[in-house]
Homo-oligomer: A and B are copies of this chain.
């Protein structure tokens, strides 16, 4: 790691030039075209070759030159990212993921917010008129039927993120919400909890329903009867979590654990618990869903389901780009990509102090 590199450097004063596709090709012992194919994940490359090239890429720390790429390639793609007012924490992770992938695949991302009062469909139409080639929809727009309708009519390939029950013709990136909620609930039951409160998510989103299903499934498996009183409506906002937690904790026989449908609401539950003099997790276990930054900001840090948000939006862009570049827009609607979630255990859960069995 010195002779050759040093030579290269000294050749032209100190200018270290970035490695090019040719360098990679030389190192891997293939032609530049093959490297190009690997980079763009085109299908016609033997697995072994692909790996060799990948290794060379990693070794040189090579990144394709965007300028050259867009100059040589077809006209640059533009993707629209339309959002309304989700959890800010969620959104920023989401934006980071799509922007990263956008950089990698050299597409433009047009980010547009739909203001609260505004007509959603108008915003979509504006975007379509602006000539975007595809659209990405984070929650809650991922299931706004009017938006989807406009998009479908305009024949704009669309990918919705975090939709638990996919719509026909709309590609979807998701995790298995039901199974994740089931796992978390089972975890709580395993800890010894029997009265487990549940804070619902926004009723318009299918993920909310899926999470509730998972909660019920785990209860059923453990032979614990479902108690409607332990389920409180929430809307994915901190504020709504405050109200829901207040309700759940005001019962005579309050739950020993609360499972909120997202972290914002879980954080709210922690706040309410503290306000009532309850220690988390000693007196009350609280866990969330999503694992946004907030989960590790507050104290105690939340036990939660880690949803790979950055990865999900990255994949959304990637999917759109692949389809658009390969001119297979027709196929796009049928894609269903489910990513892995993970239960991450932190400090907000514990065994119940007073068993209420």
Contact = CB atoms under 8 A, between A and B. Distances in A.
Interface in A93-140: 93, 95-96, 99-100, 102-103, 106, 108-111, 129-131
Interface size bracket, A side: 35 or more
Instruction: Report how many copies the assembly holds.
Output: 2
Interface stretch (A59-67, A173-181, A210-218): A59-67
A67 B76 contact: yes
Contacts of A31: none
Contacts of A111: 100
Interface string A49-82: 0000000000001010111111100011010000
A88 interface: yes
A38 B269 CA distance: 52
A61 B130 contact: yes
Interface stretch (A142-150, A159-167, A199-207, A290-298): A290-298
List the 6 shortest-distance A-B pairs measured between CB atoms, nearest first. Answer: A88-B293, A16-B131, A92-B92, A67-B71, A67-B67, A99-B99
9 contacts: A87-B293, A88-B293, A89-B297, A99-B99, A99-B100, A100-B111, A274-B274, A275-B277, A294-B297
Interface of A: 14-18, 61, 63, 65-71, 75-76, 78, 87-89, 92-93, 95-96, 99-100, 102-103, 106, 108-111, 129-131, 155, 238-239, 242, 264, 267-268, 271, 274-275, 277, 293-294, 296-299
